[in-house]
Amino acid sequence: MPPTIAARIDELKPSLIGRDPRDEDLTPHNKAERANDIANAGLNCALWDLRGKIAGKPTADLLCAAGQEPLRRLRLYASSGVRYDWDDHPESVVEEAIGYAEEGFTAYKMRIGTHWAWSGVTVDRFLKIARQVHEAVGARMDLALDGNCRLSMEEALPIAEALDEMGWAWFEEPVERVPADYARLNEAVSIPVTGGEPFTTWAQFEPFMAVGGFGIVQPDAGVCGIDLCLEVGHRAYADYGGIPLIPHNWHNGLMTMANAHMVAALPDP
């Protein structure tokens, strides 16, 4: 466990011991963007798991609004394509996508590969690989791209246009997290521009939502907790024109399940 998170858990212990885990005010609320707020997220997920065990029900049942039934089946996407090397067989990302398709996944998200400047990678060179992925599996998988905030606006816009033309599902975190830039990209293309994975407070999501920066919002229960994820999902759908939530998830199986129960409880996931 990272030291800052461990220190935060130690700090919280005295206020938690002896309390009823079903107390909705038990989890401290994130007040700022800081690494140890992830400790709050882990605590929030653990409490919801414990509440489900006490009730003898799946956590998703407890998260649903009155009269709502949670989804019992969810669709997964393979999130990979992380370290293909532009100097050493970059076509490995195509082979990887084919492998996931053969495993039965119906959606695949890739990244933009190793550092472009080191290898002289251009937008055209990247799109050549993206088109190879599309040609190999696009007929049987939805495809998405994660830019990891590494592209410039001048690079991101033609990539977004090309992905839009191919019918890809979304373009995640293409550029640095500036609401106006996300809004500009999201307005320029039909493919949803997405983000929100590191945010731990609604105040961080709201500037992007207010300007139309996200076509899909992507909180992560392992970063901001189940409660805030649900709040973001409800607000995005009800207050910002039906924006859907597809969670970010780059964790172990435990947090995958936390995100799954959260999504199953959304009113229109």
Over the stretch 134-166, which tens digit does the pLDDT of each residue have? 999 999 999 999 999 999 999 999 999 999 999
Same domain, 206 and 135: yes
Q: Answer yes or no: is 56 within a domain.
A: yes
Beta bridge partners of 245: 217
Q: Answer yes or no: is 70 within a domain.
A: no
Boundary of a domain, candidates 19, 38, 63? 63
Q: How is the chain classified by DSSP, letter by letter?
A: --HHHHHHHHHHHHHHTTS-TT-TT-SPPP-S--TTHHHHHHHHHHHHHHHHHHHTS-HHHHHSPTTPPPPS-----EE-----BTTB-TTHHHHHHHHHHHHT-SEEEE---S-HHHHT--HHHHHHHHHHHHHHHTTTSEEEEE-TT---HHHHHHHHHHHHHHT-SEEES-SSS-HHHHHHHHHH-SSPEEE-TT--SHHHHHHHHHTT--SEE---HHHHHHHHHHHHHHHHHHHTTS--B-----S-HHHHHHHHHHHHTSS--
Q: Answer yes or no: is 155 within a domain.
A: yes
Same domain, 35 and 126: no
Residue 203 to residue 110: CA distance in whole angstroms: 29
pTM: 0.93
Res 5: pLDDT = 78
Same domain, 139 and 259: yes
Boundary of a domain, candidates 35, 63, 91? 63
State the virtual CA torsion across 130, 135, 140, 144 in degrees, nearest 10.
10
Same domain, 96 and 162: yes
Same domain, 127 and 216: yes
Q: Answer yes or no: is 68 within a domain.
A: no
Q: Answer yes or no: is 45 within a domain.
A: yes
What end-to-end distance do the CA atoms of the chain give, in Å? 32
Q: Answer yes or no: is 69 within a domain.
A: no
Over the stretch 106-123, which tens digit does the pLDDT of each residue have? 999 999 999 999 999 999
Residue 162 to residue 88: CA distance in whole angstroms: 25
Res 88: pLDDT = 93
Domain that holds residue 41: 3-63
What parts of the chain have a pLDDT lower than 50? none
Same domain, 84 and 185: yes
Q: Answer yes or no: is 148 within a domain.
A: yes
Same domain, 29 and 95: no
The sign of the CA dihedral 209, 214, 215, 216 is: negative
Res 31: pLDDT = 63
Beta bridge partners of 216: 194
Same domain, 175 and 241: yes
Same domain, 49 and 95: no
Res 213: pLDDT = 98
Same domain, 167 and 235: yes
Residue 232 to residue 244: CA distance in whole angstroms: 10
Same domain, 85 and 218: yes
CB 210 within 8 A of CB 182: no
- Residue of 175, 173, 113, 99 whose CA lies nearest to 141: 99
Domain count, the chain: 2
Residue 237 to residue 234: CA distance in whole angstroms: 5
Same domain, 166 and 231: yes
Domain CATH number, residue 201: 3.20.20.120
Instruction: Report, in angstroms and rounded to the nearest whole number, the Rg of the chain calculated over CA atoms.
Output: 20
Q: Answer yes or no: is 119 within a domain.
A: yes
